[in-house]
Amino acid sequence: MLTIKLNNIIMEYGGRRLFNIKAAFVYSNEKIGIIGANGSGKTTLLDIIAGREKPVSGNAELFSGFSYIDQLGLPQGEACRQIDYSWAADGEPMSGGEIMRRKLAEGFGTDAGILLCDEPTSNLDELGIVRLERALKNIKGTLLLVSHDRQLLDSVCTKIWELDGALKEYSGNYSSYINEKEKQKQNERKEYEKYLEKKNRLEAATKERSTKAARMKHTPRRMGNSEARLHRMDVRQRAGKVSKASGQISSRLEKLEKKDKPKEQPKLKLFSSGEAGKQGRIAVAVENLSFSYGQKKVIDDLSFYAGTGEKIAVTGSNGSGKTTLLNCIANAVPGVRISPLAETGYFRQGCPELDEGSSILEFVMRKSRQPEHTARTILAGLGIKRDDVYKKISVLLGGERCKVSLCALVCQNPTIMLLDEPTNYLDIYVLSALEEMLESCENTLLLVSHDRFFRSKVTDRQIDLDGKG
């Protein structure tokens, strides 16, 4: 049964075309993941479907009631009935994770046939994400899910919508989408190579005939008048044939269907500083570390070692001390030993180190070991291109601020990298580029992230905190 129909939807902001969706159809029990770059209009599309936003033209038709779990407000739609508040937290004030659990409880408590979810994993801890995944897999009805959590998309979705100016539809989960995209890229590369080969061959043939025609115009020396006259007549005949052939080749060249060079995402790369081998075998040693906030002990008698070049995920529920542990390592508190020749760089949640008065490029270059053109390439790989590098940091939103802070750390290229939730606000394309870079780097890495897909690709082992150590 048809539950949602999108008809010729055009959306613009400030004169900029966001997307143009000719037509799309959603049926009962379909679970669709919506992906795209930051700013591509994913949330806007959900808002149009929910009736919160009005497009420039076109409309969305719904043939069932809906519930909307958004990033900011509480669910909207039909009245919530028989809500299971086991998701929700007791008492006030509520943390970001507790607010999201409350929204999820209310969203799942409706009898609506359509559930719209916008980044529902925001602020959820590991247990919350696992429970959400289970709930989304078990719901009856239609699901439209905007998420950067690739494991969630893999586990739940039966179809992927990619939003990039238009809407492209792919059958299957996220892994199926990646496989199909790779096949498309390979085909595009082959088509472009064939186009270049044919174009070069036709251009070379045209040039060869032009050269041949120019040579034929010259009358050989020591030729009498009669012979010269006959020669010129012969040349005209042959030149006519050459010119005709050249014209045919030019015509084929003009009619040759042009193929654009496939776009490639700029690569993020950490350049070896040459210092890793000088650090010794152990980069970070944590021995009998304890840490408290007032009377509340967060870390109690914790010990572990991080070998040089090792990549470790620090996991645990909200409040278990993950960020506290990274802070302790960054500040080398008693109980933490850092290799004397190592340099530590720290990506903090919220990016408090950003200088609001600086431009993006100025801030990135302050501690950069890379030349400006390399820094700009890395920024482009993170989605900050061309003149955007001259924007003031004070005008940037969450996702852009996160990218600037990450780029500054990458360009600094410290031997030990502490990353606290670096994947927040990043779109799937940038996540993949960051993943590839961290996989191949020689730096020691301690990573806090709720992104299970990201952790599994980047890290070698895991330290799980339980709030006690």
Render pLDDT for 341-350 as a digit per residue (tens, 0 to 9).
889 999 998 8
Residue 76 in this model has a pLDDT that exceeds 50:
no
Of 104-118, 298-312, 337-351, 389-403, minimum mean pLDDT range: 104-118
- Band of the pLDDT at 151, cuts 50, 70, 90? very high
* Proportion of the chain above pLDDT 70, given as a percent: 78
Per-residue pLDDT band at 146 (split at 50, 70, 90): very high
- Minimum mean pLDDT range among 332-336, 384-388, 443-447: 384-388
> Of residues 156 and 203, which shows the higher confidence score?
156
Please tell me the least confidently modeled range out of 259-268, 315-324, 395-404. Answer: 259-268
Average pLDDT over residues 430-434: 86
Give dist(CA 113, CA 141) in Å, integer. 5
Q: What pLDDT is attached to residue 434?
A: 87
Average pLDDT over residues 285-294: 89
Confidence (pLDDT) at 83: 34
Q: What is the DSSP string of 280-328?
A: -SEEEEEEEEEEEETTEEEEEEEEEEEETT-EEEEE-STTSSHHHHHHH
Q: In what order do the strands lie in the sheet with 167-171?
A: 76-77, 66-69, 114-118, 142-146, 31-35, 159-163, 167-171
Does 261 score more than 50 pLDDT?
Answer: yes
What is the predicted pLDDT for the residue at 173? 96
For residue 238, name the pLDDT band (cuts at 50, 70, 90): low
Structure confidence at residue 162 (pLDDT): 96
- pLDDT (0 to 100) of residue 44: 94
pLDDT category of residue 104 using cuts at 50, 70 and 90: low
Question: pLDDT-based confidence at 85, cuts 50/70/90?
Answer: very low
Say yes or no to pLDDT of 205 above 50: yes
Give the tokens for residue 214. Answer: 């120019």
What tokens does 366 get? 């302050």
Average pLDDT, the chain: 82
What is the SS3 assignment for 412-429?
Answer: HCCCEEEEECCCCCCCHH
Buried b (16+ CB within 10 A) or exposed e, 156-166: bbebbbbbeee
Q: Is the pLDDT of residue 241 over 70?
A: no
| Statement: residue 28 has pLDDT above 70 | yes
Q: Is the pLDDT of residue 113 over 90?
A: no
Q: Is the pLDDT of residue 232 over 70?
A: no
pLDDT of residue 183: 92
**Where are any strands of DSSP class E within 63-158?**
66-69, 76-77, 114-118, 142-146
pLDDT, greater one: 344 or 202: 344
Measure the CA–CA gap between 458 and 439, rounded to whole angstroms: 5
Q: Which residue has the higher pLDDT, 275 or 33?
A: 33
pLDDT of residue 292: 87
pLDDT tens-place string over residues 367-422 = 898 899 888 988 888 888 889 999 999 988 777 888 899 899 989 889 999 999 88
Region 330-351: mean pLDDT is 90
Please state the rounded mean pLDDT for residues 226-234. 57
Decide if pLDDT at 203 tops 80: no
User: Average pLDDT of 178-201?
Assistant: 86
Q: Which residue has better confidence, 85 or 264?
A: 264
